[in-house]
Amino acid sequence: MKFSLLVVTTDRLYLVKRLFYSLVVQTCRDFEVVLVHGEACTERAQALAQKFAGQLAISHLIASPTRSLSKARNLALPLLAGEYVAFPDDDCVYEPETLANVLNLFCYHPEIDMLLSGTTDLDDCKGVAAKSKIHRLNQYSLFGYSYSFVQFYKKACVDAVGVFDEQIGVGAETPWGSGEDTDYVLRAFQAGFTVWHAPTVCVRHPVVNFSNPGLYAKADAYAGGRMYLLRKHAMPLWFRLCNVVYPLTALLREVPNLSKRLLGYRWRMFVSRLVNF
């Protein structure tokens, strides 16, 4: 088995269904899917797995009693059998060549231990732009690319890093509602593994929904997780300050599309990062 794809959802099976349709048309067919779902939707998850039984190798279907993304992933990590491991979000979509392109890069560049792909909006018909070549990242630059849905690992790397930090991430019963994905990459990097960015490999994912009524609460949770992560890994003061100021500098790039909601979101992000500094 070349790939193990670990997908976690609480109850958003309608999104998992969309992801599965994108997996059905992968040009690389050598992969398994492990689905971890909320206990409340067990029957619907079983029905979904049955619908795709003849098209996808869904090797494990696990009911999770927790809403913590990190805890749910940790339930399934020991079961992964692939040579390479990925953590697609339930609301992301793979291009037909995504896995084939990742496999080619791993094969032709044996020095790569972790690969972070490019990403684009779910509805962007243009896909990713081929503006730069694959390049190696350091412990600072990886922060800009480490969304969980773009991460691809050699299994030996995952075995060495171990479980996700259950104190952080979506659904954790702490103020730190993000950062588990970047934390995982950082721990692998600090263990001596290499991480590379491949801008031309595409995974599609929805952009921030600025009409979401929970937008500011999400900004608070993500800011708390980011600043906790920087403290946990003892990142230097200058880098932590850059992370605090980043939301304000981002506004300069976003001026052409600036709206009241976007301005409020960036300001809330700045204040929350400052409070959690």
CA–CA–CA angle 188, 193, 194 (5° rounding): 115
Residues 124-155 pLDDT 10s: 766 665 567 899 999 999 999 999 999 999 99
**Predicted local distance difference test score (pLDDT) of residue 242:** 96
Least Cα distance to 120 among 142, 98, 102, 139 occurs for 98
Do the Cβ atoms of 135 and 106 come closer than 8 Å? no
Relative orientation angle of helices 215-232 and 260-275, to the nearest 10 degrees: 30
Over 90: is that where the pLDDT of 258 sits?
A: no
**Predicted local distance difference test score (pLDDT) of residue 262:** 85
Share of the chain above pLDDT 90, in %: 83
d(CA 87, CA 147): 10
**Predicted local distance difference test score (pLDDT) of residue 163:** 97
Longest dimension (CA), the chain: 53
Residue 32 falls in which region: left (phi positive, over 0), alpha (psi -120 to 50) or beta: beta
**Predicted local distance difference test score (pLDDT) of residue 123:** 79
DSSP class of residue 83? Answer: S
Strands, E assignment, 90-234: 93-94, 114-121, 135-136, 151-154, 195-205
What are the structural domain ranges in the chain?
Answer: 3-205, 215-275
Over 90: is that where the pLDDT of 23 sits?
A: yes
- Average pLDDT over every residue of 67-73: 95
- 3-205 CATH pick, 3.90.220.20, 3.90.550.10, 3.60.140.10, 3.55.40.20: 3.90.550.10
d(CA 76, CA 243): 32
**Predicted local distance difference test score (pLDDT) of residue 259:** 80
d(CA 62, CA 42): 9
The encoded tokens of residue 16 equal 């998992």
- Average pLDDT over every residue of 83-87: 98
**Predicted local distance difference test score (pLDDT) of residue 129:** 58
- Average pLDDT over every residue of 93-122: 96
Mean pLDDT score across all residues of the chain: 93
Residues 201-224 pLDDT 10s: 999 999 888 888 888 999 999 999
